[in-house]
Chain A
Amino acid sequence: MAQVKNKLTPFFENLNFERDDNTMVINFGPQHPSAHGQLRLVLELDGEQVVKAYPDIGYLHRGIEKMAENMTYNEFLPTTDRLDYIASTSNNYAYALAVEKLLGIDKDIPRRAQVIRTMLLEVNRIISHLFFIATHALDVGAMSVFLYAFREREFGMDLMEDYCGARLTHSAVRIGGVPLDLPEGWLENLAAWCDKVDHETKHTYEALLTENRIWRMRLEDVGVISKEDALSWGCTGIMLRGSGVEYDIRKEEPYELYDELDFDIPVSDRCDSYGRYRLYMEEIYQSTKILRQLITMYKETGPELMAHAPKYISASKEQIMTENYALMQHFVLVTQGMRPPKGEVYVPTESPKGELGFYIKSEAEPYAYRLKCRAPSFFHTGLLQEILVGTYIADVVTIIGSTNIVFGEVDR
């Protein structure tokens, strides 16, 4: 029965009572604090049980793929910050790697740039995972974890700020390498931060949550995704490994230095939110392990930071200022933009959220003919319409938190 708006009956814009079959339709979001951004979830409830869930997205749609068709390749790189803004270097990197594959220079990246990039990726992974545990715990009701996790995340963002000057939108990676060397004392700070993160994860977050009775009651057997569903719905990253599939792009299709590094891929066959929470915690330990190896690797590298590919990448500042030809090429690259070869590539990388891939179709023009960003959160949002059905409304928040979706990359 439709509601009549008048003075006598209050009008609840978010509630719609369907009297016929006794279900209630509620709008969860788009401004709900635990909707992780701009998720509007239309839930049909029978009592407290979800009968039907319909995720409505697009509230943060900025047309980033359209912008990519109207920007030169270097211009577009800072825009990728706005995809998954929790860990923006992973987007920068995924895009830069895709363009490098297109140019065919992905094997020419200097060693030091590779080390720095891998470091930044792992720092971003830890930042993102700390953000996950903070907001997920807050959604479920554990307020103090949020405060502790944000403290360590803040130190991680300080590290990023020391390196590139930005805290959230880093743009710390360039096509062909990295713009800057590490500042003095950065490695010591990084090592100290790794120890701190390890210590805090073990003695604070895990101590607070892992055996916590309420936490386990809220997470165990909630948001169960079977292996078949996880594969079919396009789940990647921890959503996939939480369902017992051992697949990590860093291991299976290694890029950058991941084939030289020693780390494990934690897998859980619990298939529920608790298993995924454990995986996030375990991945933090693995990331600090990778970072410690990278600190020793950094010391054995030479000073080059950008690949030498004069057709596509500007020479160093010193060369531009001293050599005429380098200046001319720099001028052309800045005013016209690089023209990659004709063709298409799809390059997947393992971002903290899952498989972040860029499909780039180039028609040998300074502008990408088509750029498709394969965002993991987009597919994880699609999955919500299936796994929410049959759960209770109190668990909806847990499940959304557990999928770890970020709306910058869902809507793009």
Chain B
Amino acid sequence: MRKYTPKDNVQAKAYYTDRFWVSPRVPQSPVEEGTHFAKVVETLGAQCKEAYIVDGQLVVHIDATENFNVMKTLKEQCGYTQCSEQSAVDYLAQDGEFELFWQLLNIDEAKRIRVTTRIKQGEAIESIEKLYKSANFAERELFDMFGIKVNNHPFLKRILMPDDWEGHPLLKTYPLHGDEFASWYEVDKIFGKEYRDIIGPENRDPAMIDRYDTKRFSRIGYEVPFAADYTDEEQQPVEYSDTFLVDYNKPSKTLDERK
């Protein structure tokens, strides 16, 4: 039986985890009375579902539909004039949701807030480009990398990947070396679909070793001319090599004689 590999998360995983190992957590502290952050939480009122402090930064959980209003309050009433960063985390495999975060900066107080929320797959969020113009590029990247639609963005278009790309690279379902589409993209684009048979799919794994590729690899114990095709031939190894080299091209064991 083939080994089962989950399709909803194809990223690298730990090959061994102790059964009884309990992971520690990054410490979270409550918001103390009388601080700057306490005032922020008070100003947000009911919009703030949960608030705590991690590493000196306030983390605020909000409703996804409220994001524009929350940012507006934070910008206009709390002095958070800069949106440093925004992006998403893919939790589709676990919860069917994306976690979104916005990282805001208050220049005068030197305080940072992280606003986080969760949306279901296929849901869109409201653009905050009207408040922070830095969201223009950041939201395009969000759309490009995760496929999350942003409403009322002035120019929502792929930014890092080509316009005619399929798939969103930072999803957990997207393999590191690209999918089927990625391996044919440049062949189709440069030569045309009719050359697929001649050229073959692009090798997007730079560590891959093809033992029949005589342009880039040599064979231990054999002298193979550059670009020679030896897929069918049974080559004679260089004589002296037989004594101490293992022939990796020969199958070590024949399981069934009839085949």
Total count of chain A residues near the partner, CB < 8 A:
56
Known: A65-B170, A231-B107, A341-B24. A348 touches B55 (CB 8 A): no
Q: Are B112 and A382 in contact (CB under 8 A)?
A: no
Q: Are B132 and A232 in contact (CB under 8 A)?
A: yes
The 8 tightest CB contacts between A and B, nearest first, are A343-B26, A234-B134, A364-B23, A382-B137, A252-B110, A58-B160, A341-B24, A70-B12
Give A342-388 interface residues, CB cut-off 8 Å to B.
Answer: 342-348, 355, 357, 359, 361-362, 364-367, 369-370, 372, 374, 378-379, 381-383, 385-386
- What residues of chain A lie closer than 8 Å to B55, measured between beta carbons? 101, 345-347
- What residues of chain A lie closer than 8 Å to B81, measured between beta carbons? 231-232
- What residues of chain B lie closer than 8 Å to A362, measured between beta carbons? 26
Choose one: B14, B136, B141; the contact of A366 (CB below 8 Å): B14
Contacts A66-B169, A346-B112 given; 17 further ones with Cβ under 8 A? Answer: A57-B160, A61-B160, A66-B174, A69-B11, A104-B26, A231-B107, A232-B133, A232-B134, A234-B138, A339-B23, A345-B26, A355-B84, A359-B103, A369-B89, A370-B87, A370-B89, A372-B87
Interface residue SS majority, chain A: mixed
In the assembled complex, the Cα of A140 lies from the Cα of B145 at a distance in Å of 36
- Taking each of A234, A253, A346, which has the highest tally of chain B beta carbons within 10 Å of its own beta carbon? A234
Known: A70-B11, A233-B133, A234-B134. A346 touches B57 (CB 8 A): yes
Instruction: List 18 A–B pairs whose Cβ atoms lie within 8 Å, in order of A's numbering.
Output: A57-B160, A58-B160, A67-B176, A232-B82, A232-B134, A233-B133, A234-B138, A337-B14, A341-B23, A342-B23, A343-B25, A344-B54, A345-B26, A357-B85, A362-B26, A369-B89, A370-B90, A372-B87
In the complex, how many angstroms separate the beta carbon of A79 from the nearest chain B beta carbon? 13
Known: A58-B160, A104-B26. A374 touches B107 (CB 8 A): no
- What residues of chain B lie closer than 8 Å to A57, measured between beta carbons? 159-160
- What residues of chain A lie closer than 8 Å to B90, measured between beta carbons? 370
In the complex, how many angstroms separate the beta carbon of B242 from the nearest chain A beta carbon? 35
Q: Are A229 and B13 in contact (CB under 8 A)?
A: no
Please give me the residue from chain B that is nearest to A103 by CB atom: B26
- What residues of chain B lie closer than 8 Å to A378, measured between beta carbons? 137, 141
Does A24 sit within 8 A of B, measured CB to CB?
A: no
Total count of chain B residues near the partner, CB < 8 A:
46
In the assembled complex, the Cα of A229 lies from the Cα of B132 at a distance in Å of 9
Give B59-101 interface residues, CB cut-off 8 Å to A.
Answer: 81-85, 87, 89-90, 101
- What residues of chain B lie closer than 8 Å to A231, measured between beta carbons? 81-82, 107
Q: Are B136 and A382 in contact (CB under 8 A)?
A: yes
Give A319-345 interface residues, CB cut-off 8 Å to B.
Answer: 336-337, 339, 341-345
Q: Are B85 and A346 in contact (CB under 8 A)?
A: yes
Choose one: B14, B107, B134, B145; the contact of A367 (CB below 8 Å): B14
In the assembled complex, the Cα of A379 lies from the Cα of B159 at a distance in Å of 13
